[in-house]
Amino acid sequence: MTTPEIHPEIAHLAWLLGTWAGEGAGEYPTIEDFRYSEHVTFAHVGKPFFAYNQKTKHEETGLPLHAEAGYLRPVGLDRVELLNVQPSGIMEIYEGTVDGTTLDLVAVQVATSATAKDVTEVTRRITVDPEGETLSYRMQMAAVGEPLQHHLAATLHKQQ
Amino acid sequence: MTTPEIHPEIAHLAWLLGTWAGEGAGEYPTIEDFRYSEHVTFAHVGKPFFAYNQKTKHEETGLPLHAEAGYLRPVGLDRVELLNVQPSGIMEIYEGTVDGTTLDLVAVQVATSATAKDVTEVTRRITVDPEGETLSYRMQMAAVGEPLQHHLAATLHKQQ
């Protein structure tokens, strides 16, 4: 297996590629504050998209908490689409802007399965520092009748 | 890392677990017939869902063709939800029935990103043979103005 060359339509987002690990914290009016450890991977196969995978674990017990998976699609040089699916029965399509090494994403469609909790709005900001060593994100969410507000923040470090 | 025990709410679907590999064929009025090699994985982390991953490659060149990722959620013993996302900008939420080792899935929501092709209906049947060695599926799709019709069929074999 040789690593394919990155597709030119997504080469300007290569700063996202790799595995990132670190810690995050979550809060929401309807639940207790919580902390988690997290692994995020952005990978490519030579086609004009990145596969996105995320897993979080309880900091003390190591038990799995959240997971999500999806695909990031470039739209020209300064816009992206992110499609994301969660085992909790929630799927999101985001549209976003690229500003240097920052993505600002707004969910333009949120679809939930019949047995999932109600989520209506989500925004995410993903930033990599100029050295390419630290990825941080913030997520806001409107769900279960609560207005759009801060939900998650995490800081992850490039692995290897 | 110890393998967690399967969650009791999804234990009746354990016949899906593992990695499956084989060949498939696709057709649609708007494209040339095509064949592909495929890997599918259903995995669990001890929670009441399976993570689903699929990748296909060109049979001769080995170059990546399609990919998708999602989560299968049990609804009691005889129904499921499948959430699925594709790098082509398409997301589907399926509801389905469990009949022995056969899942019959109908997409109840199909969401497409602004730059994706138009897909309006999808059905999938996934069957594992009674010995648990062969997984086969068929997929029907209505897209780009064409009515619901056969699109994909593949036969995969349990790995290891």
Interval B30-44: pLDDT, tens = 999 999 999 999 999
What burial letters (b/e) apply to B126-141, b meaning 16+ CB within 10 Å? Answer: bbbeeeeeebbbebbb
Interval B116-140: pLDDT, tens = 999 999 999 999 999 999 999 999 9
The two tokens of residue A36 are 């988690």
Nearest CA in chain A to B65: A47
Fold held by B11-158: Lipocalin (2.40.128)
Q: Does the interface predicted TM-score (ipTM) exceed 0.85?
A: yes
Interval A77-125: pLDDT, tens = 999 999 999 999 999 999 999 999 999 999 999 999 999 999 999 999 9
Q: What is the pTM of this model?
A: 0.96
Q: In this model, does residue A1 exceed pLDDT 70?
A: no
Q: In this model, does residue A2 exceed pLDDT 80?
A: no
Q: Where are the domains of chain A?
A: 11-158
CB contact B73 to A (< 8 Å): yes
The two tokens of residue A117 are 């909790």
C-alpha distance from A138 to closest chain B C-alpha (Å) = 23
Q: Supply the mean pLDDT for chain A.
A: 96
Q: Supply the mean pLDDT for chain B.
A: 96
CB pairs under 8 A between A and B: 102
Which of B69, B73, B114 faces A69 most closely, judged by CB atoms?
Answer: B69
Contact A93 B93 (CB under 8 A): no
Position B1 confidence tier, pLDDT thresholds 50, 70, 90: low
Contact B85 A83 (CB under 8 A): yes
Position B3 confidence tier, pLDDT thresholds 50, 70, 90: confident
